[in-house]
Amino acid sequence: MAVDSIPQQAQEKIGHIDSADVVVGILADLDHPDIASLCESLQRLAGSPRLAVLQNEKGGNATPADSETAEKRAFPFLVSWPLLQLDPAGAPVLNTFAAVQAVYAASEKLGARACCIVVSKLENASAGWICELAKPMLERNIDLALPRYAPRKLEGLLNFSIIAPLMRSLYGKRIHNPMGPDLAVSQRLFRKMLVAGGNARPKATHPLASLVPEAASENLQVCEVHVGARIYPPTDWTNISSRIAQVLGPVFLDIERNAAFWQRMRGSVPVPSIGEPGLAPQDPGPLEISRMIESFQLGNRDLQEIWGLVLPPSTLFELRKLARLAADQFHMPDELWARIVYDFALAHRLRTISRDHLLKSMTPLYLAWVASYAQDMKNDADLTVDQRLERLSAAYESCKSYFVARWRWPDRFNS
């Protein structure tokens, strides 16, 4: 078991707990009243499961009053999550991936039947929304419950443009937010995320990116839960290259690890959906489409040598035509975008160039897709986010045979 994943202070506190049925890791920056309300809602879960709540505290410790209240309610708060990064102002920022792994490890140590992760704040949601994610673990024998947020048109676009349609095409599950980040996981699944066979070294899995591939390849049960509108952190478009590399690196590693499975998968199926969709919230201000197009045009001039190592000549030709379009005519076909994503996944596997450099070189292409998508949504007021995602996902699925062929015979398309 990956005990080393658990911060030392948290290990000491876990030692005072015999066991728990459900472990809840609160990684969101919630105020104490919100946490107390969430705990009260958890107590109303059917069967009165024993609960352990792992609380992310900025200061590293709950106050004595908080600890006393938690003890009376039988909610042991565990603190001291790894704060390994600093924001531009020098303040500590939670390392989400390490914290999620720690929640899995604590859940295993306590013999929990399930664990829940709370990363986000939701707009106009009741404090009990996390219970809706936990219920399928306890009542329906589900292994992975993922959120279906009420969609905003101009947020969550990295998931929308790549993660969701790519995982749907490869692993056959129509899931809107395959990497959560809010989620609930069964004991069967979180154990697979941890160390295998008592080995002190962790498996080559990612605590979020590997969930859907692992569940699909092991034929585990997955569902979606309508939880309302997520409040997204502001997108730092000036640092989007690092974000792309951070998110896509683990996804592409899983594609390589699970190649034998996804090459056999044909088509996709919906997963059970629980609850009622929330109202689509209002979007933030418009995107700076012209600047995104300019970034793509600059990349098309400066990155031809790198893109030439990744993309076949036919795709490079289409990109050159795209770069000459006026802003009001700018449109990237979904099939072109899907083939680009597949080509970069293949180049990542082949280590065509440094993987970090490779993924960051994808940024101008991603900005081109975002600009094209924003134009689509602006020009068609009746087009919903779900309709647009369905259209994009269909393109990924139709281009999957291209990816399979390139994966098996990488040089076939290079002339």
The predicted pLDDT at position 361 comes to: 97
Same domain, 327 and 268: no
Top-ranked range on mean pLDDT: pick from 58-67, 84-93, 163-172: 163-172
Looking up residue 202, the CATH number of its domain turns out to be 3.90.550.10
- Which stretch of DSSP H or E encloses residue 144? strand 144-149
Write down the mean pLDDT value for the chain: 85
The predicted pLDDT at position 233 comes to: 85
What mean pLDDT do residues 70-82 have?
Answer: 51
The predicted pLDDT at position 58 comes to: 52
Dihedral angle sign, alpha carbons of residues 83, 225, 267, 258: positive
- pLDDT above 90: residue 69: no
Same domain, 267 and 308: no
Among 70-74, 77-81, 121-125, 152-156, whose mean pLDDT is lowest? 70-74
The answer to whether residue 284 is domain-embedded is no
Top-ranked range on mean pLDDT: pick from 68-77, 227-236, 365-374: 365-374
**Band of pLDDT at residue 294, cut at 50, 70 and 90:** very high
The answer to whether residue 212 is domain-embedded is yes
The answer to whether residue 283 is domain-embedded is no
Angle (deg, nearest 10), helices 289-302 and 313-323: 130
Residue at which a domain ends, from 274, 301, 332: 274
- pLDDT above 80: residue 261: yes
Q: Read off the tokens for 247.
A: 């998110």
The better pLDDT of the pair 374, 203 is held by 374
- pLDDT above 80: residue 56: no
DSSP 218-239: TT--EEEEEEEEE-PPPP-GGG
The predicted pLDDT at position 77 comes to: 56
Structurally, the chain folds into a number of domains equal to 2
**Distance (Å, rounded) from C-alpha 215 to C-alpha 103?**
18
Helix (H, G, I), strand (E, B) or coil at 54: strand
Q: Tell me: the pLDDT tens digits for 346-403?
A: 999 999 999 999 999 999 999 999 999 999 998 888 888 999 999 999 999 999 999 9
The predicted pLDDT at position 203 comes to: 53
Question: CB-based contacts of 259: which residues, under 8 Å, 6+ apart?
Answer: 407
DSSP 385-401: HHHHHHHHHHHHHHTHH
Same domain, 352 and 401: yes
The predicted pLDDT at position 356 comes to: 95
- pLDDT above 50: residue 84: no
Residue appearing with tokens 């035509």: 321
Position 358: which residue type?
L
Same domain, 169 and 20: yes
Residue at which a domain ends, from 243, 274, 305: 274
The C-alpha angle 132, 50, 120, rounded to 5 degrees, equals 40
Domain that holds residue 344: 289-408
The predicted pLDDT at position 149 comes to: 94
Q: What percent of the chain has pLDDT over 90?
A: 56
Helix (H, G, I), strand (E, B) or coil at 116: strand
The answer to whether residue 296 is domain-embedded is yes
Residue at which a domain ends, from 233, 251, 274: 274
Q: Read off the tokens for 345.
A: 């996944």
Q: Tell me: the pLDDT tens digits for 299-341?
A: 999 999 999 999 999 999 999 999 999 999 999 999 999 999 9
Same domain, 396 and 324: yes
The answer to whether residue 280 is domain-embedded is no
- pLDDT above 60: residue 61: no
Same domain, 223 and 312: no
Same domain, 133 and 49: yes
The predicted pLDDT at position 89 comes to: 54
What mean pLDDT do residues 80-109 have?
Answer: 68
- Which stretch of DSSP H or E encloses residue 39? helix 32-42
- pLDDT above 60: residue 277: yes
The predicted pLDDT at position 4 comes to: 63
**Distance (Å, rounded) from C-alpha 299 to C-alpha 365?**
8
Same domain, 317 and 174: no
Same domain, 316 and 209: no
**Distance (Å, rounded) from C-alpha 157 to C-alpha 153?**
8
Same domain, 172 and 303: no
- pLDDT above 60: residue 75: no
What mean pLDDT do residues 251-267 have?
Answer: 96
Same domain, 202 and 100: yes
Same domain, 192 and 335: no
Question: CB-based contacts of 220: which residues, under 8 Å, 6+ apart?
Answer: 143, 144, 186, 188, 189, 214
The answer to whether residue 363 is domain-embedded is yes
The answer to whether residue 137 is domain-embedded is yes
The predicted pLDDT at position 198 comes to: 42
**Band of pLDDT at residue 68, cut at 50, 70 and 90:** very low
